[in-house]
């Protein structure tokens, strides 16, 4: 297993639209295992393949307290969504440190394939429903900050770019230190 690099907003690769998974086997099993290790390590309650620069329709979610209820959704589609909405303060491993309210359907029913390619349906509410919708947005190239006002989004973008420059500066200093 391996911990994968999570793309950070506003990386343009986060806006790619993911393609359906068509082949199941070793490669998908390894991707699921690596994504799970990456999500638990972060830590997070969900992760989309798009966030680790794999643009295929695969998401994982584990909202349990015990972190032992991993759910894998491949080629997911929402087949039903409630008229009732809920607002949840969402976070994102691609936008670390930022949390803000997003309104979405409170209950959903999802149709998907499991890691072996077997179809299943899953009904969700609460955080699980929020998380599945948030991860499915990633597959469409959408990051949750796009639900916020342009003012908030631009402030977040500026903060992330400033942090990015700091990360790059530290890496350059570390590399220079290794050369001397």
Residue whose structure tokens are 């500066």: 169
| Interface pattern 19-38 for ligand K1U (x via CB under 6 A) | --------------------
How many whole angstroms separate alpha carbon 6 and alpha carbon 13?
11
Does 55 appear as a known binding residue? no
Output 28 or 143, the one with its CB closest to Zn ion. 143
Torsion of CA 92, 138, 125, 41, to 10 degrees: -40
55 secondary structure, DSSP code: -
131 labeled part of a ligand binding site:
no
Question: Residue ranges of the alpha helices (H) in the chain?
Answer: 26-41, 126-139, 150-179
Active-site residue, from 26, 135, 163, 170: 135
Strands 71-81 and 107-113: antiparallel
Q: Candidates 21, 72, 130, 156: give the one binding ligand K1U (CB under 6 A).
A: 130
Interface residues with Zn ion (CB under 5 A)? 92
- Could you tell which of Zn ion, ligand K1U, none binds residue 56, using a CB distance below 5 to 8 A set by kind? none
Is 135 a catalytic site residue?
A: yes
Closest CA to 123 of 76, 173, 80, 86: 80
Q: Are 24 and 116 in contact (CB under 8 A)?
A: yes
Residue number with CB closer to ligand K1U (24 or 54)? 54
The C-alpha atoms of residue 108 and residue 27 are separated, in whole angstroms, by: 29
Least distance between Zn ion and beta carbon 179 (Å): 37
Point out which span in 20-28, 91-99, 151-159, 165-173 binds ligand K1U (CB under 6 A): 91-99
| Interaction of residue 43 with ligand K1U, rule CB under 6 A | yes
Is 92 annotated in some ligand binding site?
Answer: yes
* Cβ partners under 8 Å of residue 166, min gap 6: none
Q: Which stretch binds ligand K1U (CB under 6 A): 46-54, 75-83, 114-122, 146-154?
A: 46-54
Q: What residue numbers does the annotated binding site cover?
A: 92, 134, 138
Q: What residue numbers does the annotated binding site for Fe cation cover?
A: 92, 134, 138
């Amino acid at each position: 297993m391996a911990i994968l690099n999570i793309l950070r907003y506003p990386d343009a690769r986060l806006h790619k639209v993911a393609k359906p998974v068509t082949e199941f086997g070793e490669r998908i099993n390894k991707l699921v295992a690596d994504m799970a290790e990456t999500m638990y390590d972060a830590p997070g309650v969900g992760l989309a393949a798009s966030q680790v620069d794999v643009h295929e329709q695969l998401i994982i979610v584990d909202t349990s307290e015990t972190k032992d209820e991993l759910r894998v959704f491949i080629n997911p589609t929402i087949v039903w969504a409630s008229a009732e909405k809920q607002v949840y303060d969402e976070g994102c491993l691609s936008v670390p440190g930022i949390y803000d309210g997003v309104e979405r359907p409170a209950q959903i029913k999802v149709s998907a394939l499991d890691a072996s390619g077997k179809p299943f349906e899953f009904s969700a509410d609460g955080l699980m429903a929020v998380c599945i919708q948030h991860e499915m947005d990633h597959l469409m190239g959408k990051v949750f900050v796009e639900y916020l006002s342009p003012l908030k989004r631009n402030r977040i973008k500026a903060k992330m770019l400033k942090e990015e420059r700091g990360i790059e500066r530290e890496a350059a200093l570390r590399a220079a230190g290794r050369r001397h």
